[in-house]
Amino acid sequence: MINPFERWSSRVASATGRPLAFILAVTVILVWALTGPIFLWSDTWQLVINTGTTIVTFLMVFLIQNAQNRDASAIQAKLDELIRAVQGARNEFIGIEHLTAMELGEILAALEESTGDEKRKAAAIARLIRRR
């Protein structure tokens, strides 16, 4: 069941990110708006769009989350491989995505502290900007 869902969600997420999907959504809204006078702006007419958009939004949350989870896992695997492959890199960083937010904050603070004082950081940033 997982593989068919992942294939399907990947296709849907990809398709909904294209201009044609946006044009389709705008078309649906325009058709709905233009039919307002026909249905005398009734509660049922309003309920149709409210229900439709709620259902689509609800389902898209899960599809988008699935796509983001896969992307994040792929990026993490690539970063872990780079850490493993680069001589001098600290292998202890592999898997830190499983730590708590507080533990990650402590690691980030320690890394920032180890980079030196603010003047040195500003000079390094200025060099990077000049390279562009």
* Residue range 80-93, pLDDT digits in tens: 999 999 999 899 99
Q: What is the DSSP letter of 93?
A: G
Q: What is the pLDDT of residues 27-62, one digit of tens each?
A: 999 999 999 999 999 999 999 999 999 999 999 999
Q: Is 9 helix (H, G, I), strand (E, B) or coil?
A: helix
Domain residue spans in the chain?
A: 2-89, 99-132
Give the per-residue pLDDT at 1: 60
pTM to 2 decimal places:
0.67
Closest by CA position to 84, among listed 76, 75, 94, 74: 94
